[in-house]
Structure 1
Amino acid sequence: MKILFQKLFGFLLLLGFAFAFSQVKISGKVTFKNKGIAEVNVTLKDTYDGATTDKEGSFSFETTEKGSHILIFSHPKYAEVQKNISIANENLVVNADVKEQVNEIDAVVISAGSIEASDRKRATAALTPMDIYTTAGSQGQTTTGYKFLPGVQNAGDSEGLFVRGGTGAETKYYIDGNLVNNYFSSSVPGLAGRERFNTSIFKGSVFSSGGYSALYGQALSSVLLLESVDMPDESSYSFNIFPFSLGGNYQHLNEKKTFSYGLDANIFNLGLITKILNFDTHFIKAPRNVSVNGNFRVRTKSGGFLKYYGSFDTNSLIVSQPSLEQNYDEQQPSVQGKNTFHSLTYKKKMGSYLMNIGSSFSINKNDLQIGILNAGNSIGNVNINSEGLYWNSRAVFERKIASASNVKAGFELMSENDKSQSSIFNSVPQKNTLNNFTTALFAESNLAFGRNFSTSLGLRAENSSFLNQWNVAPRFSAAYRISEKWVSSLAYGIFYQTPESRYLTQNFNQNFQKATHYIFQIQRSEDKRTLRLEAFYKDYKNLVKTINTGFQNTVIPQQGSGFAKGIEILWRDKKTLKDINYWVSYSYLDSRREFLNYPTELYPSFAAKHNVSVVASKFVNSWKTGFNFSYTYTSGRPFYNIIAANSENIMKSQGIVKDFNSLNFSLNYLPNLGKKDAKAFTILVAGVNNILGNKNIYGYRFSSNGEVSAPVLPATQTFVYIGALISFGIDKTQEAIDNNL
């Protein structure tokens, strides 16, 4: 036995020596710009042999493999390197020099003039749908929520986003890349229309306050790009109930999760609220709105994704206002609107290209009537009726040229057919028909040069059949990473816009309106904290000028101009104060423009020099309740008493209204909190807008001779509401909590 053990030991020892002598050591160093790189994985392809580089970039390992092999060097931040080697009986030294590989996460992002709210960047200075719902004073509307961010004016007497010295008409709205020609419901002068679209249908948004992409046009100031939800996770249904609205939603998903459809209906009526609260506006018929919308989503076998969204709504209201004229004592503006919108998009990857095509179609009808009364008796009407049919189609083709670089190109077609008719006191109706077809071609390259520098260069060309003109608009932006936390961005661009259809008559013979943007931004981002500092300058050319003749505006041959400049600061913090999410924004604006009936360059009546907003929310788990506060301060807006005399606009008087202040509060209670596997979500909401009851004024309206004036007030100074949102099928309780924290 002893002899057998000795022989076995000797055999194993001999085998070990043979094995040792058959191994080959492979070593080397991995460098980037002559510096060693740590944590690089070095592996022999199709084997388990390999090593990881140390902090000096060195590595070594042993292998028994022989012959031709491939040595692979890989690291998430660097491009993979492969080297062919031949393994014999001698040790090998293999060095490698790697190149930086930039992916979409590491690449510096160009953000000058842009605030994004999407799944990818929810932690930045963005507003998600849940943010909007839980922001006190937002009224659940996307555009109202963005008024708490820098760059947007608090122009509550008119719908739209008034951005950096621009009018509400200078902002355009897109859903899934398709143009929305009437984003707001019909309204009467002095009362802003509400959004026609439910905030909950959107999964993200990009709001550009200037310098936006060449993929979009026909907007002098900004664009709001909204992206509707994709395929739902589960079938579900929900409903909401408030004293002023009632709605329900149903969403169905098939078992294979390749097809879904949904239907949503809402009724909005302020009738009950006007009887409970003290409204400054005397409603003969309170604002009413009925909307129905539907959607379907299809994931095709070839990898494409088809998305449809459509809506139909009607709205109406009648108000009574004291007359400012001498020959009658009351006027009753009333409006009735009907709107329909359809959007269809298709996205598909084709080899190295991504194709994204879409089209939208809408019909908007608006009947505005101003009843003129004296001592309760009707003495006539002013009627302004309009009907618009709009069609938009676009195609974008994208090719990636690196992990964080791409080239996009495409075209957009826009058709606008407007018919309007107006009459004063049963006079012969004045009719106007507008047919305009806009063709746009665009291309844009987005290039990342390493982790620290990115550029975007775009060009857009447009032709208007009505103006019979082409324009060419270059766009450029860049970003440079100063350090891991600090990034600087700049943007430059030229933007054109066809004047609003109400000014385009057969005698109109002017150019595209033009704005040139210059933007510089510096941003600091870290875990749950963002600081943005931005400065901008806008130069306006070819603005429309008019003379106000009673209830109508007549376009004159002269063209207006102007400028806007300012600075903006945004600080958003979810970390410093325990369980409190808050942000503070400040905007300073200096602007002058000569347009419409302004006799000379004036500070716009819809803008204020200083705007401050503070928004904070805190969720208390033990109480299942979220508390939300917001405060808005706006310095006094100017007002102008301008009359028409001898075919000229004459300034009779001017002034500044008092500063605007509003403190808002809301709370939301989540009764489902703590219930495991509860396929339901319930949120009870209550709130007060302008809780301190400040007597805010938007401006003044004047009689035709400028002798009599009256303030333009909010519909109500203080608004109180309570309601519930309940859904079944999907539990969004944690999402609500996460967004509050």
Structure 2
Amino acid sequence: MKIRLIILFQFLILFAHAQVKISGVVLSESGSPITGVNIFIQGTYDGATSDSLGVFLFKTETSGEQTLIASCVGFETYGQSLNLTGNISDLEIVLIEEISELDEVIINAGTFEASDKKKSVVLKPLDVALTAGANGDIFGAFGKLPGSHTVGEEGRLFVRGGESYETKTFMDGMLVNTPYYSKMPDLPTRGRFSPLLFNGSVFSTGGYSAEYGQALSSIVALNTVALEPETKSSISVLSVGLQGSHSKRWENTSLSISAEYLNTALSNKIFKQNIEWLKVPVIVGSTMLFRHKTSETGMIKSFASFNYDTSSLLYDNFEQSAFQEVSLGNKNLYSNTTYNEMLNDDWMIQTGVAANIDRENIDIDSNNITTSRNSSQLKLKLANYSIKDVTTSFGAEALIYKYDQEIDMDGNFNLSFSNNLFAGFAESEWKVTKNLAVKGGVRTQYNSLINELNVTPRLSAAVKTSKNSQLSTAFGKFFQNPNDDYLKFTDELSPETSTHSILTWQYKKDSRTLRIEAYNKNYSDLVKFDEEFSAEPGNYNNMGSGYSRGIDIFWRDKKEFGKSDYWVSYSWIDSKRNYRDFPQKVTPHYVSEHNLSVVYKQFFTKINSFISGSYTFASGRPYNNPNTPEFMAGKTKTYNDVSLGFTHIFYLFNTQTVAHVIVNNALGFNNVFGYNYAQTPDNNGVYQSQPIVPGQKRLIVFLLSFQL
């Protein structure tokens, strides 16, 4: 849902008690702000860390001639002489990226790094937050990278011909079983978490590490922030609700708590809706982050999130020629606790426990469906560095899963199952030379419901082709349990299977990145059935198959136009499947052959403002028209979207304030995602249709955030 945009704009401000106040902003050479930079007076403990907009502020009791130091991983250390005779404001510190970005080869086939600490970074958390059209959603931002498809009525990630359930999300290495909000028919959902909760993420479009399993197509691995830099509070007001947060910092410990109430009633009145809401969407939620530094190399992290959302609408069920009252209520709790520590120079331990409880209630007229999904996970990973240029990791995990669904529809029915997964993995990376690296791994997993043991190999390698370029390749086999919608009817199904082959060439120099990737993915053992929602176990089998192959191109330039940043992403895909109730192998409805995204950002230091814009294009998607003899022969018109964003930072009543406005589909394109058809023909023998369109033609969201 688009109403959670507020979470993006929690910008930091630092307070201390001293005589001289020093403030300013830290920028890259392209003019983009840099977060997490350590700024301090040399020889003292006086300093601060730059916030999500690169802004810093601190006070010091030192005076006279002093040296200001700014340091950050991936950038050259900066030094400047200051005469501390009075307050100093509006300092502009420009950091230069270290020139050794590709001195050593990095295996990156199928992987987009998004970490402030990675020199091969493609997107940083701030990039996600300020990308127009992403709506502050991690999955929305990754949807503007190559390999993903634009599926406007879903809001989830669809990657390289795979359905959304084939992409799994992990937080600090632990599985998030329900990363999205529940969704209404034909309306998009969004991710539950703010990108600013994380200091980095990995979007792997295939060929990922043996550490991760149960994902046919892709993984999103999110790494939460470490200690909060300062005690701080904030209150935010937007056109769709309120949000507040407070963080407390001790020497080696920090605790952050936030809460929100979001309601789209006002927004729905301002912008014409294509939906007849009976009860507008409302979200109530809170998060908690606890961090404790156990040593110089060790940390305990605890995270908890609770969300409750509810809505109701009058749905035009065109297939059944009837209007239906559909109500949705969802309660979701996710928590994890992880512990990381360097045991000595050679060994590192990473362990964690996670739990996810999800309760969803759907009322369709007088019918009711209540679904609960409970999962818990225990994981242990060890890494060894005792052999020079070789890193070996291995571990094990246990995942306990319980599904229960109660249906009150022409009688009472209960569908439930338990499935416990036990897995082990081992992987080694060897930097053979400065220009060559290889990685090999294996993963084994056992499913208690399916009663099957699987072994999957993972291989990858990279070689430098020049000082600023490299060639990477990856191969792997991946298993995933069939969807819950099938396992609740039968336990006779085998895991679905995919095999990935990837070849990547990347060039990176002077804040410019060019990446070209070709891939081939083969599917087998996909679930097929004759009749959807049949309770007969014999209705389902693993006779489905398919393939996806294509080319992804990514270009990013952070220097060409001064203090700006832009990227262009293009994907071409050829994908076909014979699964579900398909009579033949065809391109599924969620695949667009061509996908293009252009994202542009500009930072104006003199007025402390950002502007951003994005253009998204997707070629027509197939759909099945029962009025024609050929299956899935229809094709929607092309998808187009231009979105804009503006952010301004200023002081209001001596309080740092952020004003933000975002406009989705600013040019008002009439996009169509597909068509619903009547189940029976009319008197002329024609099956009437109804287009699936966005909930509103365009959306504008306003925000004011106050740092207290």
* Alignment counterpart, residue 300 of structure 1, candidates 287, 294, 302: 294
Native 8 Å contact 1:584 1:612 kept in 2 = yes
Specify the alignment match of 1:113 in structure 2.
110
Instruction: Report the Cα distance in structure 2 between the residues aligned to 1:727 and 1:557, rounded to whole angstroms.
Output: 57
Report the alpha carbon displacement of residue 628 of structure 1 after superposing the two structures with TM: 0.6
* Alignment counterpart, residue 611 of structure 2, candidates 624, 627, 630: 627
Specify the alignment match of 2:635 in structure 1.
656
Specify the alignment match of 1:278 in structure 2.
272
Specify the alignment match of 2:121 in structure 1.
124
Residue 725 in 1 paired to residue 705 in 2?
Answer: yes
* Alignment counterpart, residue 645 of structure 2, candidates 666, 671, 680: 666
Describe the superposition over 1:544-574 as per-residue Cα deviations: whole angstroms up to 9, x where unpaired: 1134458989842352100000001000001
Specify the alignment match of 1:600 in structure 2.
584
**Residue type matched to 1:149 in 2?**
L
Specify the alignment match of 1:712 in structure 2.
692
3-state SS, counterpart of residue 650 of structure 2: coil
Instruction: Report the Cα distance in structure 2 between the residues aligned to 1:181 and 1:134, rounded to whole angstroms.
Output: 27
Specify the alignment match of 1:342 in structure 2.
335
**Residue type matched to 1:305 in 2?**
M
Native 8 Å contact 1:117 1:205 kept in 2 = yes
> Residues 180-219 of structure 1 correspond to what in structure 2 (within 5 A)?
180-219=176-215
Instruction: Report the Cα distance in structure 1 between the residues aligned to 2:149 and 2:449, rounded to whole angstroms.
Output: 32
Specify the alignment match of 1:290 in structure 2.
284
3-state SS, counterpart of residue 606 of structure 2: helix
Describe the superposition over 1:131-187 as per-residue Cα deviations: whole angstroms up to 9, x where unpaired: 122111111111001111101111121142100000000000011111001001111
Report the alpha carbon displacement of residue 293 of structure 1 after superposing the two structures with TM: 1.3
Q: Would the alpha carbon gap of residues 467 and 132 (structure 1) be closer, same or farther in structure 2, given more than 3 Å must change?
A: same
* Alignment counterpart, residue 557 of structure 2, candidates 547, 556, 573: 573
Native 8 Å contact 1:362 1:391 kept in 2 = yes
Q: Would the alpha carbon gap of residues 512 and 264 (structure 1) be closer, same or farther in structure 2, given more than 3 Å must change?
A: same
Native 8 Å contact 2:493 2:540 kept in 1 = no
Instruction: Report the Cα distance in structure 1 between the residues aligned to 2:533 and 2:689, rounded to whole angstroms.
Output: 15
* Alignment counterpart, residue 637 of structure 1, candidates 621, 626, 629: 621
Describe the superposition over 1:608-641 as per-residue Cα deviations: whole angstroms up to 9, x where unpaired: 0000010001112233221111000000011124
Specify the alignment match of 1:733 in structure 2.
none
Q: Would the alpha carbon gap of residues 553 and 404 (structure 1) be closer, same or farther in structure 2, given more than 3 Å must change?
A: farther
**Residue type matched to 1:291 in 2?**
G
Instruction: Report the Cα distance in structure 1 between the residues aligned to 2:244 and 2:534, rounded to whole angstroms.
Output: 41
Instruction: Report the Cα distance in structure 1 between the residues aligned to 2:535 and 2:362, rounded to whole angstroms.
Output: 13
Native 8 Å contact 1:124 1:528 kept in 2 = no
Instruction: Report the Cα distance in structure 2 between the residues aligned to 1:618 and 1:500, rounded to whole angstroms.
Output: 43
Q: Would the alpha carbon gap of residues 299 and 553 (structure 1) be closer, same or farther in structure 2, given more than 3 Å must change?
A: farther
**Residue type matched to 2:349 in 1?**
M
* Alignment counterpart, residue 515 of structure 1, candidates 480, 495, 498: 498
Report the alpha carbon displacement of residue 386 of structure 1 after superposing the two structures with TM: 0.6
* Alignment counterpart, residue 684 of structure 1, candidates 646, 659, 677: 659
Q: What RMSD, in angstroms, separates the aligned Cα atoms of the two structures?
A: 2.2
Specify the alignment match of 2:421 in structure 1.
438
Instruction: Report the Cα distance in structure 2 between the residues aligned to 1:141 and 1:366, rounded to whole angstroms.
Output: 22
Report the alpha carbon displacement of residue 197 of structure 1 after superposing the two structures with TM: 1.5
Instruction: Report the Cα distance in structure 2 between the residues aligned to 1:558 and 1:109, rounded to whole angstroms.
Output: 38
* Alignment counterpart, residue 469 of structure 1, candidates 445, 448, 452: 452
Q: Would the alpha carbon gap of residues 278 and 365 (structure 1) be closer, same or farther in structure 2, given more than 3 Å must change?
A: same
Instruction: Report the Cα distance in structure 2 between the residues aligned to 1:154 and 1:480, rounded to whole angstroms.
Output: 33
Specify the alignment match of 1:138 in structure 2.
134
> Residues 174-573 of structure 1 correspond to what in structure 2 (within 5 A)?
174-254=170-250, 257-300=251-294, 304-325=298-319, 329-351=322-344, 352-371=346-365, 381-402=366-387, 404-424=389-409, 427-505=410-488, 507-549=490-532, 555-573=539-557
Q: Would the alpha carbon gap of residues 693 and 358 (structure 1) be closer, same or farther in structure 2, given more than 3 Å must change?
A: same
Q: Would the alpha carbon gap of residues 203 and 653 (structure 1) be closer, same or farther in structure 2, given more than 3 Å must change?
A: closer
Q: Would the alpha carbon gap of residues 312 and 122 (structure 1) be closer, same or farther in structure 2, given more than 3 Å must change?
A: farther
Residue 611 in 1 paired to residue 605 in 2?
Answer: no
Unaligned runs of 5+ in 2: 1-99, 682-686
Q: Would the alpha carbon gap of residues 279 and 451 (structure 1) be closer, same or farther in structure 2, given more than 3 Å must change?
A: same
Report the alpha carbon displacement of residue 700 of structure 1 after superposing the two structures with TM: 1.2
3-state SS, counterpart of residue 200 of structure 1: helix
Instruction: Report the Cα distance in structure 1 between the residues aligned to 2:604 and 2:129, rounded to whole angstroms.
Output: 17
Instruction: Report the Cα distance in structure 2 between the residues aligned to 1:681 and 1:175, rounded to whole angstroms.
Output: 31
3-state SS, counterpart of residue 552 of structure 2: strand
Report the alpha carbon displacement of residue 597 of structure 1 after superposing the two structures with TM: 2.0
Q: Would the alpha carbon gap of residues 445 and 652 (structure 1) be closer, same or farther in structure 2, given more than 3 Å must change?
A: closer
> Residues 151-190 of structure 1 correspond to what in structure 2 (within 5 A)?
151-190=147-186
Q: Would the alpha carbon gap of residues 197 and 700 (structure 1) be closer, same or farther in structure 2, given more than 3 Å must change?
A: same
Report the alpha carbon displacement of residue 121 of structure 1 after superposing the two structures with TM: 2.4
Report the alpha carbon displacement of residue 506 of structure 1 after superposing the two structures with TM: 5.4
Native 8 Å contact 1:546 1:553 kept in 2 = no
TM-score by length of 1: 0.78
Q: Would the alpha carbon gap of residues 600 and 382 (structure 1) be closer, same or farther in structure 2, given more than 3 Å must change?
A: farther
Specify the alignment match of 2:673 in structure 1.
698
Native 8 Å contact 2:544 2:577 kept in 1 = yes
Greater shift after overlay, 208-217 or 554-563?
554-563
Instruction: Report the Cα distance in structure 2 between the residues aligned to 1:357 and 1:466, rounded to whole angstroms.
Output: 26
Instruction: Report the Cα distance in structure 2 between the residues aligned to 1:559 and 1:385, rounded to whole angstroms.
Output: 31
Native 8 Å contact 2:497 2:525 kept in 1 = yes
Q: Would the alpha carbon gap of residues 230 and 356 (structure 1) be closer, same or farther in structure 2, given more than 3 Å must change?
A: same
TM-score by length of 2: 0.82
3-state SS, counterpart of residue 404 of structure 2: strand
Instruction: Report the Cα distance in structure 2 between the residues aligned to 1:344 and 1:553, rounded to whole angstroms.
Output: 41
Instruction: Report the Cα distance in structure 2 between the residues aligned to 1:518 and 1:642, rounded to whole angstroms.
Output: 36
Instruction: Report the Cα distance in structure 1 between the residues aligned to 2:375 and 2:651, rounded to whole angstroms.
Output: 44
Instruction: Report the Cα distance in structure 2 between the residues aligned to 1:178 and 1:705, rounded to whole angstroms.
Output: 47
Q: Would the alpha carbon gap of residues 540 and 274 (structure 1) be closer, same or farther in structure 2, given more than 3 Å must change?
A: same
**Residue type matched to 1:396 in 2?**
K
Instruction: Report the Cα distance in structure 1 between the residues aligned to 2:542 and 2:474, rounded to whole angstroms.
Output: 31
Native 8 Å contact 1:599 1:651 kept in 2 = no
Native 8 Å contact 1:597 1:642 kept in 2 = no
Native 8 Å contact 1:270 1:286 kept in 2 = yes
Which segments of structure 1 move beyond 6 Å, counting only runs of 4 or more?
A: 550-554, 650-653
Describe the superposition over 1:271-304 as per-residue Cα deviations: whole angstroms up to 9, x where unpaired: 1111110121222112111111112111225853
Unaligned runs of 5+ in 1: 1-102, 372-380, 644-649, 729-741
Instruction: Report the Cα distance in structure 1 between the residues aligned to 2:282 and 2:425, rounded to whole angstroms.
Output: 41
**Residue type matched to 2:187 in 1?**
L
Instruction: Report the Cα distance in structure 2 between the residues aligned to 1:712 and 1:401, rounded to whole angstroms.
Output: 58
Count matched residues.
601
Larger Cα-atom Rg = 1
3-state SS, counterpart of residue 671 of structure 1: strand
Q: Would the alpha carbon gap of residues 199 and 727 (structure 1) be closer, same or farther in structure 2, given more than 3 Å must change?
A: farther
